[in-house]
Amino acid sequence: MPHSQIPVITIDGPTASGKGTVAHRVADRLKFHYLDSGALYRLTALSAIQHATPLNDEHALAKLAEHLPVKFENGEIFLNNKNVSNAIRAEEVGTLASKIASLPALRQALFALQLGFRKGPGLVADGRDMGTVIFPNAQLKVFLTASAEARAQRRYKQLIDKGFSASMEDLLCDLKARDDRDTHRAIAPLVPAEGAHILDTSNMTADEAVEQVLKWYAHPKG
């Protein structure tokens, strides 16, 4: 199958909208490859912390991103063959990732890396600019959204379940700040892609959201 014909489903949305869970389950159901693009920014942030890379050194950060030894396997994320699935979910890493994501050189460095995940039989890619920038010709584009309060509650549960301490008030504040940064940045702002299906998951379970995405994929004209 020609590379350009390999099916791609993009699932974009703000932090804690549920896009990662939904995208991963959709990929499992379709036996497609999975790309967590947000993890690439978190992995770059974690790598920058580990290498003590100055956050104002855009060139050095881009170099880290360009050669990220990343692997997604069985729902786990590996950096240099070390499982960092929990480490990249720490709030410090997430906040840093959101800040460096606006750097043009860093985004360019990750562009080719993300395109490389498009392999047969197909790909489900989640992030903030998958349908607008990375895969604008995807067969199906979905934009997941949810209220800030619903997203803060999900993030709180996620962190507590993983053994991190968390404050609901701080999380809500942080989510709103990230939303503002993501939607107002000059490069690849967080907006629904042209032709994207909007899915508000505030009052939906992950399973319900997955079924809706699969229905759209099976019946694109529906």
CATH of the domain at 44: 3.40.50.300
The whole-number pLDDT of residue 33 equals 93
145 found inside a domain:
yes
- Give the residue numbers spanning the domain of 26: 3-215
The whole-number pLDDT of residue 222 equals 58
pTM of this structure: 0.85
Q: Which residues are annotated as a binding site for ATP?
A: 13-21
Per-position b or e across 137-151, b if 16+ CB within 10 A of its CB: ebebbbbbbbebebb
222 found inside a domain:
no
Between strands 76-79 and 82-83, the pairing is antiparallel
Low-confidence ranges of the chain (pLDDT < 50): none
Q: Which residues are annotated as a binding site?
A: 13-21
3-state helix, strand, coil in the chain (%, to 5): 50, 15, 35
100 found inside a domain:
yes
The whole-number pLDDT of residue 185 equals 80
Dihedral of alpha carbons 58, 64, 70, 76, sign = negative
The whole-chain average pLDDT of the chain stands at 91
pLDDT tens-digit map of 21-59: 999 999 999 999 999 998 999 999 999 999 999 888 999
The whole-number pLDDT of residue 42 equals 93
CA distance 40 to 66: 10
71 found inside a domain:
yes
221 found inside a domain:
no
Domain count, the chain: 1
220 found inside a domain:
no
